[in-house]
Structure formats: C-alpha cells, structure tokens
Structure 1
Amino acid sequence: MNKNASAGSIFENRPYIVAELNTSHFGKVETAQEMVLKCKEIGADCVKFQSWTEESLYADSYFKENPIAKRFFKKYSMGPEELWELSRYCRSIEIGFSSTPYSIDEVDFLIEQCDADFIKIASMDLNNIPYLEYIANKHATTILSTGMGTIQEIEKAVAVFEKEGHDRLCLLHCVSVYPCPTEICNLNNIPMLAERFPDAIIGYSDHTKGPEAAVAAIALGARVIEKHFTLDSSQIGMDNHMATEPDEFSQMISFCRKTVDALGSSGRQLTESELKQRAQMRRSAVAARDLKGGDSFRRDDIVFKRPGTGIPPDRIETYFGMVLSKDIAKGEVVKETDIQRQD
C-alpha cells in the first residue's frame, strides 16, 4: 500500500465505485475471478472482499450452539492464499483490490502482503476502539462504515484517527439493514457528515435495491459508493439475494457518473453553446413602426422581440434621446449602429 498517497488521490475518480463481493463468490476463487473481471468490464473502480474466518468473527461458544453456522462461514470464507491470489489478479487487470479485515493479523496481511488500496472497517467495529487505534496507527487509507452507530460513536471513532494524525479517512453513511428500504435510507446524513467531519471524504454504503439511492447520494455529495455485487442474485447465500447483478450495476455506475457531470460547479458558468442560445432566444429592440433617420429615438418607437442580436432591454435606456442615423422599417431589429449621439 502506498502510504504516501492521500485519501483524496485514491478517490480522485469521482464517484469512486466499490463493488462489494461479500460471499457471492460462494468461497470459489474461480467464481471470484469471474466477478472481478465483470466488475472491471462494467467500470467499477475497486472490488472488495471479506477477510473473516470462523476464528476471527465469532466466539467458540456461539459455534457450539450453532454448529451449522461454523461450517457455513468456513465454506464461504476466503483464506490468505486465496485473497493473495485475488489481489494479484486484480492488479493484473488493473482494478482496485480491498477487503474488510476482522482481526489485526488480517489488517497486517492486507497491507503488507496484498497491497490493498484501502482498509475497510465494517460498521460492526465502529465502537471497537482498540481495533480502530491499531488501524489508525498504520496510516493506511481507511474506509469506515457508520451503520448502527450514533453520531457520538462516529465522533469518538473519528477522534481515534485524528489522535494518531491519520488524515486518510473516508466515512460511509450506512444503514445496516439487508436489503434496506428506501424510506429509511436517511441520505441527508451525507451532507451532515460532510459538515461535521470536513477533513474526511464522505461516501455511502448502499444496501437498497435499485440505483436510485446511490444516485441521490451522489447528488448530496457522496464521493464513494459501495454496493453489493453478484453474478446471479437468484442463488441462495448470505446477502446474495440483495446484491446487484452486472447489468443493473453497470447502469448504476453510469447514472452516478452522469450525475457528477450534471452537478458541475457551484461557480456560475456560461458555456459557448449557451451564449449562442442567448443570441437566439433573448429579446432585443425592434421598431414598433417605420422610423425616420434624424428623428429622436424614443421609448414608444420600439417593442422587444427575438432574436437577441440587437440592443438588449437592459441597455436600451441609454439610447433614448439620441438620433436615428438611418430609416428603420417596422419590425426590423434596432442595432447600436442605427443610433448616434447628438452633438
């Protein structure tokens, strides 16, 4: 991981789109590679895996009570060798690689062995202060999801990174419901987080179905979008039923990037095309009747009509009282050269 790169440089491609693969590869490296390649083809910036194992995620007592769960997690998890292989594959086709670690060993492995583009901290670890301190001390670009967290918990988590002098943090607004109904997305949290944490990049972890919430998040200022990706949402799996298939994911990426283009700048700018339109669509002075050269130019001599190639309404007052330099037929546009000052 390039520790000298800023979080801003990592996410320069706005919006930065992260395809969350979770367990939709069903523990198969070949399927994961197929997913990675498809994500590259549809324009995602990065793919993200999960680095959990049955040892790093749950207590032994939980698995004693839920033995089937242990077999499930073991089957669907990616071990270090598989993740390392996938990280190399991502590099070979030039798409970003990351994963969500659940232990300090997994953090070290992602940074030191896999050269991950960033470390992703799951919402469940928002209040895991010792863990956050360890990651903050690494000074690696970090994405922190805020699902299930109060604003006080978010502030406390951010303070950990600030204390370590870590300046490469991205906060994702997140609602930890799978799938998330649009009516509880609370996307106005995005500008709120941007105001509260001006030194952090703000993004959105989207658990809704469809592209609408992600597009709205971009319009509200999100610079990073994370969304679950699958090749086939009909297969039964952990979160596979709410993941997005390639065609729809590609559509979402297109919508998000077009939204960024449409947002443009807060500075008022007139394009060359709009200036041309102005000449055609605005009004200018037009002779209300036949006018004689040598007569004094008066307000009742003119009306205002298209095109805007003559004297505009907001400048006409300065010409009243001057002398017409030529005859002007009724309905003709009055130009500045048609009027001269009296000596």
Structure 2
Amino acid sequence: MALNPRDVEFEISPGRKVGDRHPCFIIAEIGQNHQGDVDIAKQMIRVAKEAGADCVKFQKSTVLERFNKKCLARPYDVPQSWGKTYGEHKLFLEFSEEQYVELKKYAEEQVGVIFSASGFDYRAIEFLNKISIPFFKVPSPDVGNLDFIEFMAKKHVPMVISSGMQDMDTMRRVYHTVKRYHNKFALLQCTSAYPVTPESVNLAVIQAYKENFPDIVVGYSGHETGTTISLGAVALGAKVLERHVTLDKTWKGSDHSASLDMNELANLVKQIRILEASIGTPEKFLLPAERFVKRKLGKSVVVLGDMKKGEILNEDNMAVKNAEPCGYPPHDFHRLIGGVLKRDLEDDETILEGDVDLKQTEKGEKKVAALILARKGSKGVPGKNIKMLNGLPLIAWTILACERAACFNEIWVSTDCDKIGNISEQFGAKYHCRDPLTAQDKSTSKEGFLEFIHHHPDIWAVCSLQCTYPTQNPTLISRAVKMIKEGERDCVFAAVNSHKFRWARVKEDRGGCTRPLNFDPYNRPRRQDWSGDVAESGAFYFFTVDQLKTTGSFQSGRVAYVLDSEDQGDHVDIDTQEDFVRAELMIKKHSAKFELNQLVPKSANIPMSGDFRSAINGFVDHGISGVANGSS
C-alpha cells in the first residue's frame, strides 16, 4: 500500500504540505533534552536544521496545572533528576513563555526551520496557539483525553497525534473527534517505551491506520535505538516521522538513551531521501536507465532464412533472439503473423519498424465471437437457461440481442447439455459441446473460456454474455466490440452506476468496527448530487484471446467499461423463480425497444403451438433437474 499514493494531504506549516505525494516530514524532537539551558536549545535547533530536519519540536507544560500536589511533592532521588522532588525536576526543565517566544523566533528567523511543540495542558495549548505554532503535537499520554483533543481540534490548527499506550478503538474515537472540525491531522504509530525493542515497535499498525483511516496522513514516532526501524516505517508509508534527538547520549535525562545524536539524524535524513527516491511510482514502464541494457540484452523478432519482399510472415519463419539492432519486441510476435515484408531480409536479420506491412494483417478477418456459457442445472431454478420467458426460452433473448448488435462473426453457446445446444441452434447460435470437466459446480467462467478457445483457435476476441441477463443492450454490445476491434482496449465490461454507500465487512464474531469505503461520513453527499460508483452489471465481458492467454485474466491490460444509462430497475440477473416474474415484465419493454421479436427465426416455430413450450418445460421439470449450477 505504501507504493500506491493516495490523494491525502494537508498543509502542516505555511508552504509545507504533508501527505502521500510529498516527502516525509521529519521532526527532530528536542523535547527536554536541552537540559533546561536556552543556549543548548538554540545549538540543538541549529544542528538539527543542518542535519536536514524539517521541524524542531519542544514540550510545553504548565507544571502546576499538569500535575497534582502529591505528584509534584514526590521525592525524585534518581540519577536523572534535576531536583529533590519531581516538581522541582519538571520546573527546572520547563522554559518560560518568554523563552519559548525567543526560541521560536530564533528557529524561524535565524535558522530557517519550522518550530513547534507538544502542549500537555489547556493553558499550554492556549499559549502555543497565541504564538502561532503551525501545528499542535498531541503526546501519547493525552490521546485518550477526548475533551482535550476536542479543545485543540476546535482551534482548526493542524495536529500530529501520537498513539502510544492506546488501542484501535481509542484511535477511532480520536479520529472521529477531530474529523468533526477538520481533517488537517496525522496519526502516528508509537510505542511508549524508552528505548523500545524491535519486537514491540509493531510497524504493521501503519498499514492498519492507512486502511482504517484512508483519508488522513499516517506517520511514525520512534523511540528505538538506531535508524533501521524508522527507515522501515517510511518504506511502509509513514509521511511524518518524529525522532528524539540529543547532543550527547550520556547526558542526564531519561530520553537521551532513546535519542539520535546529530550525526545519526543526518544519516537518517539522507537515507530517507534515498529511500523515497527509490520508491518511485506504481506504474511499470521502461525507465531511461534501462534503455542501454535493453539494447544490449533485450530480445527482438528476427527472420529465419532469407526472405524476399512480399513474402508473408508466419510462426515458422520468425524467431525471438538477442538481436542487433533491436526491432519488434517478443510480445509483437503474434501481431506480425500475416504481415507482408516490404523489403528483402537476410537470414537472422532483425525485423524493424517499417519492414512489415501490418495493414495486410489488419485487413485479414479478426474473428469476433459472442460466447454464452450455459450449463445444465441451476441451484435456484433447474434448467433456467431454457425456461420460458415471454414466449421464448431464456437463452434466446441473449442470442437475439447479439443478432441485433450485428457486430459478431459468430454467436456460440457452450454447454454440456445437448438440448440447450439444440434449442440455441434454432435461434441462430452455434453449439459448442462443452467439456464436462469445465462445467462442474466448482468450475469457473475462465475455465469455460479457455476450453472454448482451445477448440476455436481462429477466434481473435470473445464477448462472454450472461445468459441469465435477458435484457442485454445491443447498443452497448456494439460499442464494446468497436473499442476492442479498433485496438483501444484489451478488455471491456458492462457496467452500471451504483449509488450505494459502501462499508467494510467485519467479522461479527470478533466484534470489529467497520469503516466507509467510498465516501466521507463527515462530508456525506446527497445522493442526487453524487455521481456514484461504477459497478459491474454482469451482463457481458469482452476480451482479446491473446490477453487472456498471456495474462491469465480476462480483465487485465487496458481495461474499460461501457455504462448502461438505463435504470437498474430495468434489468434483472435471474437466479430465482421470483426473478422470472420480474423479468417477464421487463423483457416485453426491452424486446419492443430493440425489436427483438422480429429476429426470431421462422424455423423456430414459436409460439405457434404449445408443443414447444410444453417440451421445454417438461425438459426443465424432468430432464435436467437436480444438477447443481453455481455459475453459467
């Protein structure tokens, strides 16, 4: 997921955006590692900037408001202490408001680095807001305090929220609390241990945050030693990275041991920028750096034997080799078959662009076939493929729609049932006797496609139409065929608009919470103002044979859809007896619109008598009942 950028970003400081399409925002957390000395703090600001940090961050508390009396009075006789009591220790390390203003001015005006701070209490937040801190950093201990989170969110200042010591339910509450006011915030995976061991880091939460909160920026706040884990976080998609820094790891203070020294910080920033450059784009294409190697190692199509101008290329007089110079790549081998040479070529010579008249190939017939897969039985309605619908067998309506589209060289019905095949032939389709091994309850449509193609190698492209979708639109079918034949697309499918707000499925026995998949609950659109999603209608799938054979998928390569503008209420995919009742009304309107009844062959002799209807229904009731069918 880290390699698939999302359109998620916000401005964390004037002129600096963070998000999946921006460099990782690196925060050097000085915290209270300044030893209570403003001069040391300034030195750390300057060196952190020189190391490449985007931001320096401190911690601001109103000590007497943040801690109760007993906490402040607690003896604090430890090596890290700056006072006899915990209160004295905290007060020693706390800068005054005047000192914070001085440090902010120094960072922004003299050093040129973003200055921010974590606020640990309400008064601290008010002060930080007063001096125009660009973003609030919410420390892990305060994440569960939703009133405090809301207090900050109401100020509409960007927020960076750590998540140490929390669980996913708490983070969902935090997310929803802030979202009520704005979406300018990032959630950082964090483990509150100093230093944290690798097995407690749990970087996988970064991915979980991206999935559960797809519309916000995700990051990492690390307390580990070294830089390896932070690099891993960036590789997984962390776009905000916070690390504690120090000038000397041996100094007094509990955070120094889990901090990076400034040389480590500089190395981390350098490695992050190299890593980001290496991630690149999810698009796969020939890169400039590969062109020389491709000329050296890439393979091309060559001729076998001396060939004269006007000769026709075929599988036996071409081969694929490492060639000099480079010519047609291997994937064009089959496209060259049938092409006519425009010049003489010597044995083993590369076929170059311009050497072949491919128009000859284009003029040759590209056979396009309609294919209707129809098995014997049905779980819902036995024999439904030939059950009567408005006076005709169900399968007939799809055949007639193909006839009306007038864009197929052949219309085929592939079935393991002779009676279905014979009835289909009465309506003008050809009957392919389907291998029973590809017509089992567990069989897939792709198995049916491949079995059919194996027996009909002359077919260039296939349009698979769903027999149980009787209101096939001939206009859409014709449009899809055109897109394929003109070489614009490798695969085209029928689609409809969907105006359903979708939510992620959760396992009920685990009591999980769901999340929206295609809308923002805080900016929920009115249905009438929403263009909706595009969903497969299931009516048909069109693909080239070569695409299916080379990729193993009938929906790969250059995929497109044709959108049915008709209301979904005008269509039905028949699966139950009740669907037949609905379809009976729809097919009358549909047949009249496209004049399908005019295409019924006279030889079918329908519905001159009830004999044909009786024969089919008798077949449905007795001939193939009990045969399960999970798909076409």
Query: CA offset at residue 50 of structure 1?
Result: 0.8
Instruction: Give the corresponding residue for 1:31.
Output: 40
Match of 2:137 among 114, 120, 126: 120
Structure 1 position 57 matched with structure 2 position 66: yes
Kindly indicate whether residue 27 of structure 2 is the aligned counterpart of residue 11 of structure 1: no
**Bigger Cα displacement from structure 2, 279-288 vs 324-333:** 324-333
Contact 1:53/1:79 (8 A) holds in 2: no
1:193 aligned residue: 209
Q: Do residues 130 (structure 1) and 147 (structure 2) align? A: yes
Q: Secondary structure in 2 aligned to 1:233?
A: coil
Displacement of 1:320 in angstroms is 4.2
Deviations 1:21-67 (A, max 9, x none): 02211011100100000111111110000112532432211232324
Q: Tell me the residue number matched to 1:173.
A: 189
The 8 Å contact of residues 51 and 79 in structure 1, kept in 2 or not, is answered as: no
Partner Cα distance (1:233, 1:19) in 2: 15
> Which residue, out of 83, 104, 111, partners 1:87?
104
Contact 2:62 2:121 in 1 (8 A): no
Q: How many residues align?
A: 337
Contact 1:53-1:74 at 8 Å conserved across structures = no
CA pair 27-332 structure 1, distance change in 2 beyond 3 A: same
* Cα drift, residue 172 of structure 1: 0.9
How many angstroms apart in 2 are the aligned matches of 1:153 and 1:297? 67
- Which residue of 225, 233, 249 maps to 2:265? 249
Shift of 1:338: 4.5
User: Which piece of structure 1 moves more, 311-320 or 143-152?
Assistant: 311-320
Secondary structure at the counterpart of residue 218 of structure 2: strand
- Secondary structure of the corresponding residue to residue 140 of structure 1: coil
Return the structure number with greater strand share: 2
Hey, what does 1:96 align to over in structure 2? 114
C-alpha offsets along residues 62-105 of structure 1, whole Å, 9 cap, x if unaligned?
23232432222222222212111100111112101111111211
SS in 1 for 2:282: coil
Letter in 2 for 1:38: V
Query: Is the partner of 1:234 in helix, strand or coil?
Result: coil
Give the secondary-structure state (helix, strand or coil) at the position aligned to 2:166: coil
- 2:234 maps to a residue whose letter is I
Counterpart amino acid of residue 125 in structure 2 = V
Which residue of 1 is the match for residue 220 of structure 2?
204
Is residue 2:163 matched to residue 1:157? no
Bigger mean CA offset, 66-75 vs 326-335 = 326-335
CA distance in 1, matches of 2:232, 2:176: 28
Post-superposition shift, 1:314?
A: 2.5
**What do you get for the CA RMSD once the two structures are aligned?**
2.6
Counterpart for residue 163 of structure 2 = 146
1:332 corresponding residue in structure 2: 349
Query: Please, which of 329, 334, 353 is the counterpart of residue 312 of structure 1?
Result: 329
Q: In 1, Cα distance between the equivalents of 2:36 and 2:199? A: 33
1:241 is displaced (CA, Å) by: 1.3
Cα separation, 2, equivalents of 1:228 and 1:329: 69
Higher mean alpha-carbon deviation, 264-273 vs 65-74, is at 264-273
What's the CA shift for 1:223? 0.8
Matches within 5 A, 1:194-233: 194-233=210-249
The residue number in structure 1 matching 2:297 is: 281
Q: Secondary structure at the match of 2:112?
A: coil
What is the letter of the counterpart of residue 22 of structure 1? G
Which residue of 1 is the match for residue 52 of structure 2?
43
* Bigger mean CA offset, 52-61 vs 268-277: 268-277
Cα distance change of structure 1 residues 318 and 41 upon mapping to structure 2, 3 Å threshold:
closer
Distance 2:121 2:341 in 1: 86
The answer to whether the Cα contact below 8 Å between 1:284 and 1:305 also exists between their aligned partners in 2 is: yes
Name the aligned partner's letter for residue 72 of structure 1: H
Q: Aligned match of 1:271 in 287, 298, 323? A: 287
Separation (CA, whole Å) in 2 of partners of 1:27 and 1:107 = 20
Secondary structure of 1:138's aligned partner: coil
Residues 1:291 and 1:154: Cα distance change in structure 2 (over 3 Å): same
Q: Which moved more, 1:319-328 or 1:175-184?
A: 319-328
Q: How many Å apart are 1:294 and its aligned residue?
A: 6.2
1:319 and 1:6 mapped to 2: Cα distance? 53
Q: Distance in 2 between matches of 1:200 and 1:322?
A: 54
For residues 328 and 110 of structure 1, do their structure 2 counterparts lie closer, same or farther at Cα, with a shift above 3 Å needed?
Answer: same
Q: Which runs of 5+ in 1 are unaligned?
A: none
User: Match for 1:111 among 129, 147, 166?
Assistant: 129
Which letter does structure 1 place at the counterpart of 2:155?
A: K
| C-alpha contact (below 8 Å) 2:304/2:318 kept by paired residues | yes
Structure 2 contact 74–86 (Cα < 8 Å) conserved: no
Aligned to 1:11, the other structure's residue is in SS state strand
What are structure 2's unaligned runs of at least 5 residues?
Answer: 1-9, 76-83, 362-632
Residues 1:315 and 1:194: Cα distance change in structure 2 (over 3 Å) = closer
Distance 1:149 1:336 in 2: 62
* Cα distance between partner residues in 2 of 1:253 and 1:56: 37
Distance 1:269-1:112 versus aligned 2 partners, 3 A rule: farther
Identity of matched residues, %: 28
- Which of the two has higher C-alpha Rg? 2
Report the Cα distance in structure 2 between the residues aligned to 1:336 and 1:159, rounded to whole angstroms: 59
Distance 1:315 1:157, change over 3 A: closer
Cα 1:325–1:7 change in 2 (3 A) is: closer
After TM superposition, the structure 1 stretch with the greater mean CA deviation from structure 2, 57-66 or 131-140, is 57-66
Q: Which one-letter code corresponds to 1:105 in the other structure?
A: R
How far is 1:10 from its partner? Answer: 4.2
Structure 1 pair 338–249 and aligned structure 2 pair: CA distance change class (3 A)? same
Measured at CA, do residues 99 and 294 of structure 1 come closer, stay the same or move farther in structure 2, by a change above 3 Å? closer
1:68 aligned partner: 85
Distance 1:246 1:272 in 2: 36
How far residue 233 of structure 1 moved from its aligned partner, in angstroms, is 1.1
SS at match of 1:63: helix
Once the two structures are superposed, what CA deviation does each residue of 1:172-214 show, in whole Å capped at 9, x if it has no partner? 1111011111122111111211222233221110111111111
